[in-house]
Structure 1
């Protein structure tokens, strides 16, 4: 069973990156890229809306902290380095593992990060989508029409649009547009 998490492995030494990639793949993780520079990581991440970067303290062109500053907020970073490199100044949003590395620590920590990202994505999906002013205006206009022509309360009109939206597989804005065009 492979874990889908958009994992990018980045170390300045290609042999370090390949050995970490092999460890992860043997433990069921899918690694989408192996990089030696921060620029390569950022290039790979452009195509992803979230991912996990497993990296060392220093890449060929930047430090882990500079890379983290360039990554989007939805992405996570797991930095593997000697504790004296990060113990005092590691950013709060970077998970750090000490060298020498224990395989079960790496696997367990990565599983925890993957689960945290999955929970965060699920929570975001469950939040109601924010509508812009134009969409709210169209929905309010459709509700007003339903209230006027069908003697509905605002709540009944809202539920009607909501139910039609779910039944037709469209969002409320599109459904409101249809209601307006039909009336």
Structure 2
């Protein structure tokens, strides 16, 4: 079975939701490119996300993120993984809706915490109480993530492949996103 991707699918959601891992698997199953907007930012800046936050601040990072996402939406159709904060911007949400489709990987705080608690690559969690910080970020962001056109519930027991299949199933429910060819 082969598929025809009609528009770029932009994966949104919290840090640890699986946007990169699931995105890679979805792209591989569909035979389309996978692009990670954070990786593109790192490549363009020649420094890590944490270094960008530290040197230039979050507002600078967010401006660069918008520029990169806009460029990527103009290029070939792909599976595009975004950073956890990308979908918070009204401008980004409008741009994604106009040129692609947002798929929200909807994971609860418990699942997210199990995935991010041992990583030091999350600048927003470099606080005295990272669990509480994660909960606060979650509470603030979920209302915005819920604006995504295609929500896909994530569960602790699902493998990356199973989650990718779930995402593809949701994508295929929309003829303007994915069709079998």
With the length of structure 2 as denominator, give the TM-score of the two structures: 0.43
The one of the two structures with greater contact order (alpha-carbon pairs below 8 A, sep at least 6) is 2
